Amino acid sequence: MPGVGIWRTKSVEQSISDTDEPGTRLRKELTAWDLTVFGVAVVIGAGIFTLTARTAGNVAGPSISLAFVLAAIACGLAALCYAEFASTVPVAGSAYTFSYATFGEFVAWIIGWDLILEFALASAVVAKGWSLYLGNVIGASGSTTAHLGPIDFDWGALLIIGAITIVLAIGTKVSSRVSAIITAIKIAVVLLVIVVGSFYINKDNYSPYIPPAEGASSSATGVHQTLFSFLTGADGSSYGWYGLLAAASLVFFAFIGFDVVATTAEETKNPQKALPRGILGSLAIVTVLYVAVTLVLTGMVKYTDLKTGSPLVGDSSATLATAFEAHGITWAQMAINFGGLAGLTTVVMVMMLGQTRVLFAMSRDGLMPRGLAKTGSKGTPVRITVVVGVIVALLAAFFPMGTLEEMVNIGTLFAFVLVCIGVVVLRKTRPDLPRGFRVPLVPLVPILAVLACGWLMLNLSVETWIRFLVWMAIGVVIYFAYGKRKSVLGQRLAAQATQPPEEQLETVTA
């Protein structure tokens, strides 16, 4: 029997059955290749052109390549859990749907509300980044900002979000084809950087691989320090083993996004096989590319030359182009600008796709207005796509994002933790379910994944934790004011409660 009240669970069978509900049916047309493209498209963004150099110079030195490996391991553990869940419950909504089947409706709402925060902010932040790259490409930094009296708005961000909203509304398969073309362009730029840069590698630059630890140039205090520092009183350091682990926490966020693949489960032709291949395959590809780029970067110039304040960098932050400029390869700046523009285009597209699918699943369950879950003639949730497009456009065009990227990170890690725990719970409660993919060494692998994600969450600032808890509190209020009363599952169970006992049993076991 499902739980009662806020802990009522929605069975896997019921979740799958709801996918055939008339008027809210998504079209199944994605393959393992499409999912792999989506995964690579969303993970490889501007971070590969900026995050790598800045972290190598200020935090880890040449060991930045090992930091990427450590981050990939942590991410891979979570990816295994996502692969099992997605192949077992091939329904839109990702961690929201998985949580509904294991922890109950209230936890599912919390994780759905959390994913809304993650995808909406990520889409808006990345769209503003895309606009900056557009300004660089057309040769006038800041030219994508216009003025309406006292109000400034970013027309570049509006442009990309508007175009992507139209593509997503047309259909998921079209989105996949567009994403594949643009992803091919940015991978070509990354490979070009790797090949050209490899001719300028000096092996002496790799020594020492893990530089001696130094005191951090500045220590954050109050709400700006990490939760780990706040709880333990420990001060961080640059370089050394602490710097390596800190770098792993930083570059982990370059992998964020592969979980979006799981949101397309309901639109996949053979989800039991295609989803694990798409999730794990995309993660493997981007890990190889990230490690290769960092090896080339730290081999081209000494890590100290990438440090903020060095003669080569000055007071700004190092980028991938910094290493090429040091060798007089000036055309690299334009190539990297185009690569960043292409990279961010697909990141915005797949993040917005994930946002629409989570909202679609919540709307179909009645936790959001049911009318939003209607699908068009081509099997896409056009209403939700337009609503998401408008909200993200307003966020990106009129609001400065600042350091809200960390809000994206904590939301993602929270979802990872629940999914990893959920695999263990569902193994115990429903061992009979057919699983297209099984996580090896359960419960060891999920426990390791939870510990890895927990460590990364501890490295986020106290300020980020406070904002996250405030957002969650708002979600709790909305659930009790609207979602709990409108829940389709709640109404279904209430109707069953009025039936004679024998009919209740027939309904539950049907």
What's the pLDDT tens digit per position in 234-277? 666 678 888 888 888 778 767 877 777 777 778 888 888 888 88
Token duo for residue 471: 């957002």
Say if residue 206's pLDDT is above 90. Answer: yes
* pLDDT, position 1: 45
Indicate the average pLDDT of the chain: 83
* pLDDT, position 238: 79
Amino acid at 69: V
The candidate with the shortest Cα–Cα distance to 72, out of 242, 278, 249, 255, is 255
The predicted model gives 32-61 an average pLDDT of: 83
In which residue are the tokens 């930083």 written?
Answer: 250
Peptide bond into 208 cis (omega under 30): yes
In which residue are the tokens 């994930």 written?
Answer: 354
Q: CB burial class (10 A; 0-12, 13-18, 19+) of residue 192?
A: middle
Give me the phi and psi of 153, to 5 degrees please.
Answer: -140, 150
Q: What's the predicted TM-score (pTM) here? A: 0.81
CA atoms within 13 A on the CB side of 291: 14
Print burial letters for 423-432: b (CB count within 10 Å at least 16), e (below 16): bbbbbeeeee
* pLDDT, position 445: 93
Q: Is-contact 105 9, C-beta < 8 A?
A: yes
CA atoms within 13 A on the CB side of 78: 29
In which residue are the tokens 């994206």 written?
Answer: 408
Say if residue 503's pLDDT is above 70. Answer: no
Say if residue 353's pLDDT is above 80. Answer: yes
User: Confidence class of residue 87 from pLDDT cuts 50, 70 and 90?
Assistant: confident
Say if residue 3's pLDDT is above 80. Answer: no
* pLDDT, position 244: 87
Q: Is-contact 49 242, C-beta < 8 A?
A: no
Beta-bridge mates of residue 153:
146
Q: Which long-range contacts (CB under 8 A, 24 or more apart) does 372-380 make?
A: 373/23, 373/24, 374/23, 374/24, 375/23, 375/24, 375/25, 375/26, 376/169, 378/27, 378/170, 378/171, 379/25, 379/26, 379/27, 379/171, 379/267, 380/26, 380/27, 380/168, 380/169, 380/170, 380/171, 380/172
Q: Which residues 6+ apart lie within 8 Å of 237 measured at CB?
A: 213, 214, 215, 216, 243
Other beta carbons within 10 angstroms of residue 35's beta carbon come to 29
Beta-bridge mates of residue 215:
237
Q: CB burial class (10 A; 0-12, 13-18, 19+) of residue 324?
A: buried
Pairing of strands 145-148, 237-238: unpaired
Peptide bond into 443 cis (omega under 30): yes
The candidate with the shortest Cα–Cα distance to 487, out of 370, 349, 338, is 370
What's the pLDDT tens digit per position in 387-420? 999 999 888 877 765 555 566 778 888 888 988 9
The candidate with the shortest Cα–Cα distance to 55, out of 194, 244, 261, 212, is 244
- Extract the runs of DSSP E, i.e. beta strands, from 335-481: none
The candidate with the shortest Cα–Cα distance to 14, out of 77, 126, 142, 105, is 105
